Structure 1
Amino acid sequence: MLQPKEGRIDGAHYLPTTPDTCLWGRLPDRDRPPVLRIASGGTVTIDTLSHEGILEDQGRDPVAYLAGFGVPADRVLADARDLAASGVPHDYDADGPHVVTGPIEVIGAEPGDVLRVETLSLLVRAPYGFISSRHGYGALPGEFPETEPDGGPAAGGGERAYNSVCEFTEVVEEAGRLHGTLPYGGGRAARFPLAPFLGLMGVAPDASGPAHSVPPGAFGGNLDINELQVGSSLYLPVQVPGASFYAGDPHYAQGDGEVALTALEAPLRATLRLTVIPREEAAPLLGALGGPFAETATHWLPVGLHEDLDEAMRRAVRAAVGFLATVQGMPRHTALAYLSAAADFEISQVVDQVKGVHCLIRKADFR
């Protein structure tokens, strides 16, 4: 367990998730004051908190809820207990589920600049998580979960029957690597390797009023790109002075598509480096993309976002063509041919209202 302030902290700054440093189900807007200020190039360790185990359909009491899966009270994160018991506003039906920590002001960031977010380390904070399916959501709404429908708020303030299906998933170590284990009867279990990443990283949009945390956009947000693991960089067009960066929605593992509704949701201690790329240096990339862009040690990742999956795909292709044309100097018709022969287009997720497609372009192909 990595309780707040305990254990390894890699960043020069430390930001816990408390009722004073987070929003629940909403994103910071241009008017929300920062909870931390750092210089460009500075590093920060954020104790991100998962929404699973604290939501209303789970009783908003993580100690009681996790006890049902054999987790003792001393194995429940203190920040999860504190947030669930706090007065931080959260409406199950109107807000997103995510606990969003921030915003962080990056000194000197201005609209037109780009914020580079490097993921330096991700530490598992608890040896368990949940994969959940809720009524009206996911890739197969109306088909899953295969329980009675959510009846909505009960008349007269009675107990609501949400009928969500939340699969408890234990983390185990095998052959020196952490795995999730998902039992399914008869002593059997599916075991899969963990690949942690933050599903939600963004900058504040230039708007008044906190935005819903679920749909991603040009500001980033709930991108759910499973390539954003340790060693990756995410590039976000700055929308407001100071950037107002935030993070949340930690995952231990996620398949492309995230079809149930959630991935393996569980808390992470994330250390990030936040660097401002001035407008004059960022202009070629911004001109080609106009939205989030990512890279790993081996690949560049142009991104397409839209409510319609076909249009998200088209936007990802246009972004990839634009990147190769603008940054690599490749003729556009040749770029399209290259992408068709050599690049992979993966569905980031189909469950966040705005769907995502990201392209994987091998750096080794452009020596």
Structure 2
Amino acid sequence: MDGVPADNFEILQPITQTPGALSGETAAGRYYVPATVNTSRWGHLPNRQAEPVLTVPSGATVVIDTISHEGILEDQGRDPVAWFGEHGVAREQVLSDAIALTDSDIKHDFKHDGPHVVTGPVAVADAEPGDVLKVEVLDLAPRVPYGVVSNRHGKGALPGEYPITPAQDGASAEHPERYGNVSIYTPIKETDDGWVGLMSGPNDAPVEFPLNPFMGLMGVAPNTDESPSSVPPLAVGGNADINELGEAATIYYPVKVPGALFYTGDGHFAQGDGEVALTALEGSMRATFRLTLLEAGSPEIPGGQINRMLGETDTHWVTVGLDPSLDEAMKDATRESIRFLHDYYGIDQATALAYLSVATDFEVSQVVDATKGVHGLIRKDDFAAVTAED
């Protein structure tokens, strides 16, 4: 399945900006953050000391470009032109942003740093600890007509069993084959039934699956001077990998530092619950968000308080549990779901637990990011007759 089947796919290069766009609005009336060496960090999340690349007022619409780490990492040679070229991708089909990043002096330690390229952070004016940042996902557009799925030694749901290819001594960007890791190049294309990904089956028969884009990594800065790895998800977001939080979803984040400092990255074109190989179908994404500040005590805060990220779709509330143990993550998600039902709908805890047992699906977000994730899907229609607590 080498080659790029999407003949008419327009590579989304940076938006044309008006002068000073990083401190003001673009010509289209929206704020824009390009993915450059100066607006990106590789392997770590912003902390409370991070300088914002842009400050916007509450309610602003912000377009943020992201660079996928897949195709640029050291076990792929840290050379996207060469790596994608091996799969039939012409240089003009490789993002100039990715080329600039890998050609730069930006430091990245494959062994100790997270893999993700993070764009941001964006500060929201007047945001203070105790507030909540409401993030609406307005649009997600693939920037390239291909993605990559990777399985790496010591990672994924089956470490020690996969990859089958053994690792060798002396692995480096100069000798990426010695890592023994496996990356599956996966084109995407548009069909009459929507966008699909393509993998090779027997005799090159295509295996097609639908795309469901979302950002694997979104969040606000934690209140720490340390440089958090981009790998484990946090109560304030990060690498949560929840596939329900795509276009039209809303996520509420507890603000821990002045300005909130929102960031994103790790575009996923498609991901099954669990993300068992290690990665989803990952690719560079252009994401459009609306960032709205909800001050502490605002009646718009679901349940009156948010102490960890909370998702919302048209049909469900999405509660999140996190822990290095999958069993404990399940317990954490259950406790958070009980708390939410009690605070938002006024339901007593015993009834909340009984309801969750009969009517709520708890899904494994991912089992591959050191901190495991489980999320509950609480159906809104079940509470149509219940008045939400103010």
TM-score normalised to the size of structure 2?
0.90
For residues 114-193 of structure 1, the aligned pairs below 5 Å read: 114-151=132-169, 153=171, 159=175, 161-193=178-210
Would you say 1:53 and 2:57 are equivalent positions?
no
CA contact (8 A) 1:9 1:45 kept: no
Question: Which of 5, 14, 17 is the aligned partner of 1:4?
Answer: 14
CA contact (8 A) 1:172 1:179 kept: yes
Moved over 4 A (4+): 6-11, 282-289
Partner of 2:214: 197
Would you say 1:44 and 2:66 are equivalent positions?
no
Distance (Å, rounded) in 1 between the aligned partners of 2:117 and 2:174: 26
SS in 2 for 1:5: coil
**Same amino acid, percent of matched pairs:** 53
Partner of 1:14: 32
Letter in 2 for 1:209: E
Alpha-carbon RMSD: 2.0
For residues 1-367 of structure 1, the aligned pairs below 5 Å read: 1-5=11-15, 12-151=30-169, 153=171, 159=175, 161-281=178-298, 285=302, 290-367=307-384
Letter in 1 for 2:266: D
Q: Which moved more, 1:17-26 or 1:202-211?
A: 202-211
Letter in 2 for 1:184: G
Structure 1 residue 313 displacement after superposition: 0.4
Residues 287 and 280 of structure 1, relative CA distance in 2, 3 Å threshold: closer
Structure 1 residue 210 displacement after superposition: 1.6
How many residue pairs get matched? 365
TM-score normalised to the size of structure 1?
0.95
Q: Deviations over 1:66-125 (max 9, x none)?
A: 110000001101101101111111110010000000011100111011111100000111
SS in 2 for 1:348: strand
CA contact (8 A) 1:195 1:253 kept: yes
Structure 1 residue 286 displacement after superposition: 7.3
Residues 357 and 9 of structure 1, relative CA distance in 2, 3 Å threshold: farther
Q: Deviations over 1:14-39 (max 9, x none)?
A: 11110000100000111111000000
SS in 2 for 1:361: strand
Structure 1 residue 356 displacement after superposition: 0.5
Q: Which moved more, 1:49-58 or 1:283-292?
A: 283-292
Structure 1 residue 175 displacement after superposition: 1.5
**Which blocks of at least 5 consecutive residues in structure 2 are unaligned?**
1-10, 18-25, 385-390
Letter in 2 for 1:159: H
Distance (Å, rounded) in 1 between the aligned partners of 2:80 and 2:171: 21
Structure 1 residue 351 displacement after superposition: 0.5
Distance (Å, rounded) in 1 between the aligned partners of 2:235 and 2:303: 11
CA contact (8 A) 1:11 1:271 kept: no
Letter in 1 for 2:159: P
Q: Deviations over 1:135-160 (max 9, x none)?
A: 11001000011101253657xx9735
Structure 1 residue 3 displacement after superposition: 1.3
Distance (Å, rounded) in 2 between the aligned partners of 1:162 and 1:242: 40
Structure 1 residue 281 displacement after superposition: 2.0
Structure 1 residue 174 displacement after superposition: 1.8
CA contact (8 A) 1:301 1:358 kept: yes
Structure 1 residue 185 displacement after superposition: 3.1
